[in-house]
Amino acid sequence: MPYRLRNLLAVVTLLGIVACNQAPSSEPASPLHGVWSMTASDPGDGTAVIDPSQPGIYIFAEGYYSGVYAPLAELRVPSEVPFQPTSEEMVAQHESIIVNTGTYETVGSTVTFRPIIAKSPGFVGGSSTATFTVEGNTLTLEWLTVESSDGVSAGDVADSQTFQRVE
């Protein structure tokens, strides 16, 4: 397994272990608390909603989150030689997945994400915001902002995702 992939898996696993082993809080759990599997994605650019979406998972626990998802309609393409991508395959694979994990906080129906580690190093120390709704076992995130660590905006981020509670 490539060094970077092994390290990413180790960090996501460690965050999950740490988040699950936090002492119980006397405050009520966030409505986001739990494990959510992405079911649909709307790119927000006028193209068709991707339903069903490619795989995606968000985990929320005691102020920490981890999010990994494939934002495109097309299936991710593996390397011709497993775990040994060419430069072109590596670029395509990089562009076909969103990965970040860190802390989150909610105020009303707005959630702010602050990545501790991300696929894009410039996002670490930055933030993103989304409005959220939770209806039964369905979570919808509608993205408002995405900013790098030095305050550069990603521009118009009108996309949204729908998730089903897994746990």
CATH of the domain at 133: 2.40.128.280
Range of the domain at 45: 3-21+28-165
Buried b / exposed e over 33-43, threshold 16 CB at 10 Å, is bbbbbbbbbbe
> Domain tally for the chain?
1
Q: For residue 159, how many C-alpha atoms fall within 13 Å in the half-sphere facing its CB?
A: 17
Mean pLDDT of the chain: 87
In the chain the beta strands, taken as DSSP E runs, fall at 34-42, 56-61, 64-69, 98-107, 110-118, 127-135, 138-147, 160-165
Q: How far apart are CA 142 and CA 131, in angstroms?
A: 5
Asked whether 31 and 131 are in contact (CB, 8 A), the reply is: no
Which pLDDT does position 17 carry in this prediction? 47
Helices (H) and strands (E) in the chain, counts: 2, 8
Band of residue 12 on the pLDDT scale cut at 50, 70, 90: very low
Which pLDDT does position 27 carry in this prediction? 57
Interval 67-95: pLDDT, tens: 999 988 899 999 999 999 999 999 999 99
Asked whether 113 and 124 are in contact (CB, 8 A), the reply is: no
Overall pTM surpassing 0.85 (yes/no): no
Q: How many percent of the chain have pLDDT more than 70?
A: 83
pLDDT, mean of residues 144-149? 95
DSSP state of 74: S
Of 65, 74, 87, 75, the C-alpha closest to 15 is 65
Which pLDDT does position 36 carry in this prediction? 98
Which pLDDT does position 10 carry in this prediction? 47
Interval 17-67: pLDDT, tens: 444 455 544 556 899 999 999 999 998 888 889 999 999 999 999 999 999
Q: What's phi and psi for 18, nearest 5 deg?
A: -65, -45
